[in-house]
A and B are shown apart, each in its own frame.
Chain A
Amino acid sequence: MRPLTATRTPVIHRSKSLAGPDADFDSGARSEAEPKLRLRGARLFGRKSNRFDPAPSRLSYRVQRWMLTPGIRRGLKLGLPVLAICIAVGVYFGSEQRREAVVAYVTDLKTSIQQRPEFMVNLMAIDGAGTNLSEDIREIVPLDFPISSWDLDVEQIRDKITGLNPVKLATVRVRPGGILQIDVVERQPVIVWRTRAGIALLDETGAHVERIASRKDHSNLPLIAGKGADVHVDEALQLLTTARSLGTRVRGLVRIGERRWDLVLDRGQRIMLPTERPVRALERVLAVNEVQDLLERDVAVVDMRLGQRPTIRMTKAASEDWWNTKVTVGSEQ
């Protein structure tokens, strides 16, 4: 506070350095309005950047506005590096030689990894197959060991093996230790099928198992014959099971006209079964046989083709015999 009494000493205001917005204003707003982005060229021509009245040149003003445009900014930030990389890669791969070198390098690297001993397969082991079958398998899967497991097409090998007739199921895998393990389940023959072309073994689904030379080798298996019999093996098996009580009298089944079955017994006897429900018809015949000993008699054919009218054909001798009996009986009267 100034004293209330008058003093002689005058108060002199010295100019102080300004502060705040006034300082900016006084200095031509140098700190605030001075654009940070200036073209360097201006300085070359001797213009001082802190002139009294700074103003951006038209060019620098426009450049700054471009730089503030979102699209251009994004383009510079992202598009330019991407473009540069693209150009560099393009130039490098422009020449055939370099392209091939890179491809060769990649191939080398790939092979060197694939040829490592950890990946090599040295032998093939086949389990569950007979000698013949395993030889067949080795024949259709020609591999020259050692081979890299990368080059093995396990799926294809399995499909090839499953394609063989006697093979029901096959699994193929590479076992640790460099072994190609093939597990095979063989088809079991249940029936012998005789055709004009030869004799073959069939499994329960009717699939072809093996061609054989003689029936004698498989005398324990039942016999079927006729064209198209292999398609109905399951039905044949049912019929044979039903006819079990006939024992050794059963010779086999014949497919007639690719439509129905004939059960052939010894002494040339035949049971002609219908197309529909042949098992039921056979059961009827067997029931009659049990009571009347039908098949023990001199009967040539039991015709069950029409269910409402079963028919019996006698042998020639028997019918002649019957006629004679009738004649005698008739003459007696």
Chain B
Amino acid sequence: MMTDLYQSQRAMRQMRRQAMQRGVVAVLDVGSSKIACLVLRFDGTGRLSEDNSIGSLAGQTGFRVIGAATTRSRGVQFGEVTAMQETERAIRTALQAAQKMADIRVDHVIASFSGANPRSYGLDAQVDLEGQVVSEAEVGRVLNACDVPDYGVGREVLHAQPVNFALDNRSGLIDPRGQMGQSLAVDMHMLTVDAVAIQNIVRCIKRCDLELAGIANSAYVSGVSALVEDEQELGAACIDMGGGTTSVSIFMKKHMIYADCVRMGGDHVTADISMGLGVPAAVAERIKTFNGGVHATGADDRDLIDIGGDTGDWEHDRRTVSRAELIGIMRPRVEEILEEVRVRLDAAGFDHMPSQQIVLTGGGSQIMGLDGLATRILGQRVRLGRPLRVHGLPQSATGPGFSSAVGLSLFAAHPQDEWWDFEIPVDTYAARPFKRAVRWFRDNW
């Protein structure tokens, strides 16, 4: 099963390489409230500006967004596909509009999704080097030597990223290749998700006549785009408050070391408002967007919001609610989400991180006064994050709701080395069935 995954991930990498050669790839963020699609055009490697500085785009100049479209998501709940046909139609809508804008046909797509119970594992391994110098094959060997835990049937590895290399007694190496030493140790972060969720997304994309060139967890990609470089280096948590889920990812030394997901999000707040006020979901969504908040002040008691309705009953259609009441509905739910995030961060040992920066992003982070509330629950160092600026991104897609779409395009341009980017050593790859047969023989006779 591991080899299976290894092969399919390698096939996706191959697909990505093809897309790079063609120069056009689409990124698709399948969220619970909206599906965002960006069409990227790659025009060579990123060039530095004349004075050799990184520049305002943090060196991310290798690509350009030439098409962008969003559509209301259908058939996705908690970041997982629940109604295949509906999701397929939504993907088709977004993709068609983006293609239309880009005026080019796209055949390769890189997708991200947030749900499916992500679970993080930290793996490590140590091998003695065969030669003096660390070669690519040695890196592959040490990665393969990692003791993979039993992550359960029906789960798939989504990411397996080497986050730290140690050579003899020197730790914290980013790239040990070409260095001299005796033994090589690696720490790897592995993220597993429900296999069914991946399969559903893959099927939806296949049914749209597209080739999947990569798949990523949206907690990871929104961290890539919303955290600035020093936060990624020194350690920070990115909290992406989406519609159906709130995903948490912790970064350290430019690598994700933990990811998790709380199955609550902005849609639950809307549902609470809808239930509490007795209004349709669309109206509740609008009231939340325009008048929502989490900090009630004295003036809010006199802010009466017209919640309306079109039943024809005058009394019913003239209903109003004060903003304080609205806040009273929203705040407990937001607090609950943030408490849950706190629990996940504590479980991951975020307390022990040297830098405890927390960045809130995602569409849900636009609730007024959220940073103040988050400061009380999560800690002092909280800021609201917006995605990195990339070339050609329309103004309407620069909000925090698009941080995972933008992060996904950064991921498409510069993917991180994963376990499957290194060759499996031949001996384990080929000799394992034989070894297993021998072992079985010895055990039984």
Contact = CB atoms under 8 A, between A and B. Distances in A.
B286 A68 contact: no
Contact of B286 (A26, A28, A36, A56): A26
Nearest to A16: B290
Interface residues of A, number: 35
B70, B100, B104, B290: which has the most chain A beta carbons within 10 Å? B100
Contacts of B303: 10-11, 13
Interface stretch (B90-98, B196-204, B433-441): B90-98
A56 B104 contact: no
Contact of A68 (B93, B94, B105): B105
Contact of A62 (B209, B286, B299): B209
A61 B286 contact: no
Contacts of A28: 71-72
Contacts of A21: 70, 396, 399
B273 to A, nearest CB: 14
A15 B71 contact: no
A22 B323 CA distance: 21
A35 interface: yes
Interface in B310-332: 320, 323
A124 to B, nearest CB: 72
A12 B302 CA distance: 8
A290 to B, nearest CB: 101
A69 interface: yes
Contact of B69 (A10, A32, A36): A32
B94, B96, B303, B396: which has the most chain A beta carbons within 10 Å? B96
B148 interface: no
Contacts of A10: 302-304
Contacts of B103: 68
Contacts of A36: 100
A32 B100 CA distance: 10
Contact of B105 (A32, A37, A58, A65): A65
B304 A33 contact: no
B70 A33 contact: yes
Given A10-B304, A12-B320, A61-B208, A26 B282 contact: yes
Contacts of B92: 55-56, 58, 61
Contacts of A53: 72, 74, 89
Contact of A13 (B99, B105, B285, B291): B291
Contacts of B104: 68
B289 interface: yes
B425 interface: no
A64 B99 contact: yes
Contacts of A11: 302-304
A41 interface: no
Nearest to A72: B105
A21 to B, nearest CB: 4
Contacts of B255: none
B93 A56 contact: yes
Contact of A64 (B74, B100, B286, B305): B100
B122 interface: no
B71 A29 contact: yes
Contacts of A68: 99, 103-105
Interface string B37-75: 000000000000000000000000000000001111010
15 contacts: A10-B304, A14-B306, A21-B399, A24-B396, A25-B34, A29-B97, A33-B94, A37-B100, A53-B72, A56-B92, A56-B93, A61-B96, A65-B99, A68-B104, A69-B105
